[in-house]
């Protein structure tokens, strides 16, 4: 029998249990680590997955992030409010939790997820930081503190009834870990954290220095609270940790206890927003299981949502009033067309001289458009964009139109976009054409409906109106 090897376990967990997860996390890290990246690229990655989109918006609207009464309806808006780094952390947490919990999560994994949410909210309370990035870093580090063990128990090859691994005796557990994985669960977490770039705070908290930072101390304290609370608020184990936390926070024992209980209640609410409702009954809070929300949607079918359209249009108006930047306006319009109208592929292509190219796009199989969506619209060319530029309103390129006007579909258009019914409108700035909105339903055979065309025209005109307001505000010096 071969000797257990920690790196083999790490490799198997990454490549066999979580291969798709690793690819998406790598993409998120690449976007947020690059100085040339912007919010639109992050929004594209999120909006590719309807399940991730719905959960990100739930988290963005939770008590943890949204302190106002105004609901956040778009990913674009959520990124502006939370920031790239914060949104990256949310996405990675959601992706990992979704993979860990799955359709039929193991009881041990659910228990560890519950412990993670409890530890995360307690750690943020201990830190008491006004720096949003610091607070988020501590939250994620505490939430994923037991990632290695969670991933281990998720593995199909693991015996879930291993008494030694579940023993309360630390020495017995350590020996069991060494004999099975060739190291500790903490070491397993550290390797996964390194590979997925989950932050230095997590790695340092797992194996702290002699004088750890305030963030590391908060993570460790959060984890200790979550473990001790399992024995009960009156237990010797918890009372010992309570004294440590009171000393760390510089408050009385009664004040520390009240803060801890409030954080425990908050943990259940936060867990619900992250889609981990199954874990909530295992968090020692005063909230009951009946509070916990619905299961996550699985369908990727794009459907029109009139109520969402209205909400996004209102949010667009608010963003314009608050003088949001033009890029955010464009991204919100695309999101309204994509999620609200149900148009699968949407893009805005900017005009530069006699060339048109796309910078912002949403939908599956549009990733290559950032480099390939480049067409000539000079006076001697003929394509769907030169046709649209001759009309000062949105055009619906129907099946009938395609048959009657093959000249508008040259080889480069067909190769990159395809030849199927589409909606195109011109965006004007002052007296010149500045960009085009393009939309289609690629995997649905191009089937478009009159109602979708009307909604497309509405969003296009609203975008035009918002740009005019921003332009006028800029000229008058109010922007």
The chain-wide mean pLDDT, for the chain, equals 85
Residue spans of the domains in the chain: they are: 6-291, 306-476
User: What integer is the mean pLDDT of 169-194?
Assistant: 87
- Rounded to an integer, what distance in angstroms lies between the CA atom of residue 53 and that of residue 63? 18
**DSSP assignment, residue 281?**
G
In sign, the C-alpha dihedral spanning 196, 199, 201, 203 is positive
Q: Are 146 and 220 in contact (CB under 8 A)?
A: no
In this prediction, residue 259 has a pLDDT band, given cuts at 50, 70 and 90, of very high
- For residue 321, the SS3 value is helix
Domain 6-291 and domain 306-476, same fold? Reply is no
User: What integer is the mean pLDDT of 16-44?
Assistant: 79
Q: Are 452 and 304 in contact (CB under 8 A)?
A: yes
Q: How far is the CA of 425 from the CAs of 231, 400, 422, 476, in angstroms? A: 63, 19, 10, 28
List the single range of 63-72, 148-157, 264-273 with lowest mean pLDDT.
Answer: 63-72
CATH (one of 3.10.180.10, 1.10.1280.10, 1.10.3210.10, 3.90.1150.10) for 6-291:
1.10.3210.10
User: What integer is the mean pLDDT of 183-206?
Assistant: 90
DSSP string, 284-313: -SS--GGG--PPPP--------HHHHHHHH
Q: How far is the CA of 434 from the CAs of 23, 25, 39, 408, 437, in angstroms? A: 36, 35, 21, 20, 10
For residue 333, pLDDT beyond 90: yes
Per-residue pLDDT of 377-410, as tens digits, reads: 998 899 999 999 988 789 999 989 988 999 999 9
State the Cα torsion 143-148-151-156 to the nearest 10°.
Answer: -150
Which residue in the block uniquely carries the two structure tokens 């870093």? 137
- Rounded to an integer, what distance in angstroms lies between the CA atom of residue 187 and that of residue 182? 10
For residue 293, pLDDT beyond 50: no
Per-residue pLDDT of 128-169, as tens digits, reads: 988 888 888 999 999 999 999 988 888 766 666 677 787 778
The whole-number pLDDT of residue 157 equals 66
- Rounded to an integer, what distance in angstroms lies between the CA atom of residue 332 and that of residue 84? 16
For residue 294, pLDDT beyond 80: no
Mark 40-76 as b/e (b = at least 16 C-beta within 10 Å): bbbbbbbbbbbbbbebbbbbbbeebbbeeeeebbbbb
CATH fold of 306-476 reads Beta-Lactamase (3.30.450)
Q: Are 80 and 323 in contact (CB under 8 A)?
A: no
Q: How far is the CA of 430 from the CAs of 6, 184, 263, 380, 433, in angstroms? A: 63, 64, 53, 25, 8
For residue 18, pLDDT beyond 80: no
CB count in 10 Å sphere of residue 166 = 13
List the single range of 20-29, 354-363, 368-377, 385-394 with lowest mean pLDDT.
Answer: 20-29
In this prediction, residue 36 has a pLDDT band, given cuts at 50, 70 and 90, of confident
Q: Which of 228, 296, 366 is nearest to 56 (CA)?
A: 296
Which of 46-50, 166-170, 201-205: highest mean pLDDT?
201-205
């Amino acid at each position: 029998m071969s000797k257990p090897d920690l790196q083999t376990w790490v490799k198997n967990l990454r490549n066999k249990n979580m291969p798709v997860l690793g690819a998406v996390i790598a993409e998120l890290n690449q976007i947020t680590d690059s100085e040339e990246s912007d919010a639109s690229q992050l929004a594209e990655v999120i909006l590719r997955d309807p399940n991730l989109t719905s959960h990100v918006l739930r988290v963005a609207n939770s008590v943890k992030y949204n302190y106002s009464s105004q609901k956040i309806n778009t990913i674009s808006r959520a990124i502006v409010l939370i920031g790239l780094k914060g949104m990256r952390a949310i996405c990675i947490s959601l992706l990992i939790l979704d993979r860990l919990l799955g359709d039929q999560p193991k009881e041990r994994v659910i228990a560890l997820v519950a412990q993670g949410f409890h530890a995360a909210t307690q750690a943020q309370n201990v830190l008491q930081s006004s720096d949003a990035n610091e607070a988020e870093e501590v939250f994620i580090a505490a939430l994923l503190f037991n990632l290695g063990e969670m991933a281990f128990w998720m593995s199909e090859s693991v015996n879930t009834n291993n008494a030694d691994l579940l023993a309360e005796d630390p020495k017995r557990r350590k020996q069991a870990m060494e004999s099975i994985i060739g190291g500790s669960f903490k070491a397993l977490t550290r390797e996964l954290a390194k590979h997925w770039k989950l932050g230095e705070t997590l790695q340092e908290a797992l194996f702290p220095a002699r004088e750890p930072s305030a963030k590391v101390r908060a993570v460790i304290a959060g984890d200790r609270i979550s473990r001790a609370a399992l024995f009960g608020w009156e237990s010797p184990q918890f009372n010992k940790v309570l004294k440590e936390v009171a000393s760390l926070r510089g408050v009385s024992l009664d004040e520390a206890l009240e803060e801890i209980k409030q954080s425990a209640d908050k943990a259940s609410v936060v867990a619900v927003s992250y889609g981990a409702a199954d874990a909530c009954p295992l968090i020692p809070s005063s909230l009951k299981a009946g509070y916990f929300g619905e299961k996550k949607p699985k369908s990727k079918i794009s459907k029109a949502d009139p109520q969402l359209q209205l909400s996004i249009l209102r949010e667009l108006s608010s963003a314009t009033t608050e003088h949001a930047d033009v890029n955010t306006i464009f991204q919100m319009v695309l999101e309204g067309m994509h999620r609200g109208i149900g148009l699968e592929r949407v893009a805005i292509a900017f005009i530069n001289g006699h060339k048109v190219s796309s910078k912002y796009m949403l939908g599956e199989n549009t990733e290559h458009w950032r480099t390939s969506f480049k067409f000539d619209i000079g006076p001697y060319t003929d394509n769907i964009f030169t046709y649209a530029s001759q009309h000062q309103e949105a055009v619906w390129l129907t099946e009938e139109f395609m048959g009657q006007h093959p000249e508008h579909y040259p080889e480069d258009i067909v190769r990159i976009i395809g030849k199927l019914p589409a909606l195109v409108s011109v965006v004007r700035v002052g007296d010149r054409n500045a960009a085009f909105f393009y939309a289609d339903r690629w995997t649905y055979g191009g089937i478009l409906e009159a109602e979708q065309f009307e909604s497309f025209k509405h969003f296009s005109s609203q975008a035009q109106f918002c740009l005019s307001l921003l332009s006028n505000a800029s000229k008058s010096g109010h922007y």
